[in-house]
Structure 1
Amino acid sequence: MNLASSNRPTRIGVVLSVAVAWLALPLSVAVAGDIEVESVHWGFDGRAVAPAFNPLTVIVFNPGGNDLAGELELQRLRNGYWPVGLPIRQPVFLSPATRRPVRFYPYVVGEFDDWRV
């Protein structure tokens, strides 16, 4: 079944919607200091297609008065809890009061995957 061309809601769409909610949470663990996630965008049209590599763009913002440097980590989860495979890490540097996109290219395997930043 081609998930990209299906008109009815699929389970992967529901799971990815839940994953986007996870990604919208503040990210104080992955990067030293407080950082805000302003938006999350899957793929080229807002959807992830399985099985394939999909771009995931996370816009992060540094509201504080200090520089932030570290790594942002994306981890695939099975059943919303169990980590699967190695995390994908991207270096992040943000000057005070700036925002920038951080791009990941995870391989979306199927409908039972969740993602956590």
Structure 2
Amino acid sequence: MELLSKGDISKDAKIKAHIEYISKYKNNEQFNKSSKMVTMLLQDESILKEFQDWYRISLNSIDTNNDEGKKLRLAFLFSEALFALLSLKYIKLSEEERKEILEDLKTFLL
């Protein structure tokens, strides 16, 4: 994520880098491997707590007193929701659809 934030150490840059990381999966197979690993890790209560803390800290770091911050919060939550929907296999998307949706997210919200 540090590479994706291109040396920008701001709080917003870290969130944007996280979204960029999710959008960089080259194919659905790579995406599926990552989501399986996360699902397995979340079975451990202490790791689940760490994930919850990370999300809370990430959300709290976004300044939502302006439109840019509000858009960033939506982009962050949307990218995570998409990851969860695909991980849980609630929706199926082709690689092209997934990439297009994430590009739309970045275009319209970042």
Calculate the TM-score normalised by the size of structure 2.
Answer: 0.27
Richer in strand (by share): 1
Q: What TM-score does the superposition give when structure 1 sets the normalisation length?
A: 0.25
User: Where is the helix percentage greater, Structure 1 or Structure 2?
Assistant: 2
